[in-house]
């Protein structure tokens, strides 16, 4: 079983340059665009946020929208999409 601590218990360890970790649950907004009409390749941008603060942005290309759906285990009939302005 994993042992967890409060900051008060491990703060001095951080000061001693010890590696510590915690789990958080960011929100990931995944936006998709096909940049070239002649290619199936799509560009995916994933924006990670905690509350209202963006903590990271990752961009990746997929060979097709089907490859993206497979990578994220999304059914092609899933009603999860919205059109962004």
Average pLDDT of the residues in 51-71:
96
Whether pLDDT at 2 is above 90? no
pLDDT at residue 3, as a whole number: 87
Residue 67 domain boundaries = 24-77
pLDDT band at 33 (very low <50, low <70, confident <90, very high): very high
3 lies in a domain? no
Query: How far is the C-alpha of 56 from the C-alpha of 48, rounded, in Å?
Result: 5
Whether pLDDT at 52 is above 90? yes
5 lies in a domain? no
How many structural domains comprise the chain? 1
Question: Tokens in use for 7?
Answer: 């900051």
pLDDT at residue 85, as a whole number: 81
pTM of the predicted structure, to 2 decimals:
0.73
Percent of the chain at pLDDT > 70 equals 100
32 lies in a domain? yes
Query: How far is the C-alpha of 34 from the C-alpha of 43, rounded, in Å?
Result: 6
Please provide the average confidence, as pLDDT, over all residues in the chain. 94
82 lies in a domain? no
């Amino acid at each position: 079983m994993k042992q967890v601590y409060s900051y008060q218990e491990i703060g001095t360890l951080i000061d001693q340059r010890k590696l510590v970790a915690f789990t958080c649950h960011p929100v990931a907004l995944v936006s998709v665009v096909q940049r070239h009409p002649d290619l199936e390749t799509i560009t995916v941008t994933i924006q990670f946020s905690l509350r209202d603060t963006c903590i990271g942005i990752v961009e990746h290309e997929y060979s097709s929208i089907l490859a993206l759906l497979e990578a994220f285990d999304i059914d092609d009939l899933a009603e999860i999409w919205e059109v962004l302005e």
